[in-house]
Structure 1
């Protein structure tokens, strides 16, 4: 049983690192020994799990299916051992899927405290402004801002952030500052990755107060960082989370518009893959993030 468990652990490491030499160094074995373990596993399974060349290692289709099945099992075994030993330390590789802006501006500055608290934990950040499938990315947890899509994934709210309307001082000097939501129809609005193309964009606190965006905006950007760059350049007004604009608001490159008409806050959720209990790493990360965001 011990040999079989080692086979699984070596396979998962090689699949994650895509490098035999690196895995051999990490576990203190020679590269031929790691190759032999993988060969024994494939012989026992009766399927080719890995494509190995002199330059890289990749998963076959069967290997990806096998990885998806055994990774949570190994995580559960580790969590069970830690629980039995009364050990609350997080260890292993935690894969987090999240947007670029939230990662750069909110999560990464907080990571030193997490890694200092859990020295045996490694973090892999899969940062993309497009929302991807956790199963497709192999992520343990995803951080989502905004309303959640209907899905079978488990979700936990870990915080919230203000939703702001901003513009650059130069834009305001040229086009004037709106005094009510209805005046926004006369302004250039920058559409970001989460904006819809429908006429009604956001509803303010007063449900009777709405504004309409142009059907064909002059600027549409596929990333939050691009939205921030456009609004700083004076190309128009933009909506976004406090994380997107905080630095620029503090240094004066942007100004908040219509502060007397606050928009609903943006919820922040941790999402876990469907069909199984979240790993101890994922649950611990969500606990830590909730505390960290709550203290800011």
Structure 2
């Protein structure tokens, strides 16, 4: 295997092994056999003179050399795809876009944007993964990472897509049972990553009001907090987009109309220093437009 094309094919096989953590899984994705994938991996290791993968009975892991190669391999594949896009006679977008998105937005608003994009571009497929934790971008194999709040990785290019309005909500019954109580005395349902045991709200002049609470319920999952709020257990800070229909039909009400929690940025992160396929650029722009219209 001495051609440029073959070298890229070896890198593509290696990346797929890394992503699937399985030679058989990589073979299924590539439409070939496991022995063929093993031979390609061996050829790449021989060409580079290093061991890239450790294989055991149960799993496949990358060696330090394999981890070092992975971002370079992805970058070269991405740059080659960008070249193909620029010089191909085909205008239609095609290929897979790999996205990591926050759980709530990812299975709510953002998945609708992704669905519309696939309808507009039938040649596109999307690998859609939902995670709220901090990822190691270079090891994940994604084209873009959507994250609420700051992105703790200076090596990435970050674009702010929107800022999410957050307000205090509760059921009419819950608020009726606690008439006359100050917000600090109310039963609170808090989302750990953002509120914890301390509530901070701002008035229209951006003056802060903060106080400590002992939550009636605390969770790291917005759906759990939302369900407890709907059941009338207490009040909670929720994104407006998440509870818009409940506010419209009166299931939930704005418990502090003159106060709002800090708006949280929704960021889009991508690898730096690489040309991206047209499908990724257009998808990111479509997400930006979707956010501008709905957040």
TM-score > 0.5, shorter chain as reference: yes
Q: Distance in 2 between matches of 1:291 and 1:177?
A: 43
Matched, 1:81 2:84: yes
For 2:288 and 2:193, the matched residues in 1 are separated by 23
- Per the alignment, residue 274 of structure 2 pairs with 277
Q: Is 1:125 matched with 2:122? A: no
Q: Secondary structure at the match of 1:112?
A: helix
Shift of 1:291: 1.8
Q: CA deviation at 1:45?
A: 1.8
Structure 1 spans left out of the alignment, 5+ residues = none
Equivalent pair of 2:19/2:141 in contact (CA under 8 Å): no
Distance 1:94 1:18 in 2: 19
Among candidates 97, 106, 113, match of residue 109 of structure 2: 106
User: In the alignment, is the contact (CA less than 8 A) between 2:70 and 2:138 conserved in 1?
Assistant: no
Correspondence for 1:9 among 2, 9, 12: 12
Within a 5 Å distance, the mapping from 1:160-239 to structure 2 comes to 160-176=163-179, 183-197=182-196, 201-208=200-207, 210-239=208-237
* More displaced 10-residue stretch of structure 1: 121-130 or 222-231: 121-130
Deviation string for 1:193-242 (max 9, x for gaps)? 3324575613222234x433325434321122222122223222111212
Alignment of 1:42-81 (within 5 A): 42-52=45-55, 56-81=59-84
Q: Residues 233 and 98 of structure 1: is their aligned pair in 2 closer, same or farther, counting only changes over 3 Å?
A: same
Contact 1:155–1:269 (Cα < 8 Å) also in 2: yes
Distance 1:221 1:29 in 2: 44
Change (3 A) 1:220 1:213: farther
Summarize deviations over 1:137-193 as a string: whole Å, max 9, x none. Answer: 343222223466684532223234322211122311211277xxxx31221222213
**Mean Cα deviation higher: 220-229 or 168-177:** 168-177
Q: Provide the C-alpha distance between the structure 2 equivalents of 1:43 and 1:142, rounded to a whole number of angstroms.
A: 33
Q: Is the 8 A contact 1:129 1:193 kept in 2?
A: no
Look up the match of 1:145. Answer: 148
CA contact (8 A) 1:195 1:201 kept: no
Report the 3-state secondary structure (helix = DSSP H, G, I; strand = E; otherwise coil) of the residue aligned with 2:217. Answer: coil
Return the offset for 1:9: 1.5
TM-score calculated relative to the size of structure 2: 0.83
Provide the C-alpha distance between the structure 1 equivalents of 2:233 and 2:282, rounded to a whole number of angstroms.
42
Question: How many residues in Structure 1 have an aligned counterpart in Structure 2?
Answer: 290
Query: With structure 1 as the length reference, what TM-score do the two structures score?
Result: 0.83
Task: Give 1 or 2: higher strand fraction.
Answer: 2
Q: Deviations over 1:89-132 (max 9, x none)?
A: 54444332222111111112332212223334332333222333
Aligned CA distance change for structure 1 residues 119 and 193 (closer, same or farther; 3 Å): farther
- Which 5+ residue runs of structure 2 have no aligned equivalent? none
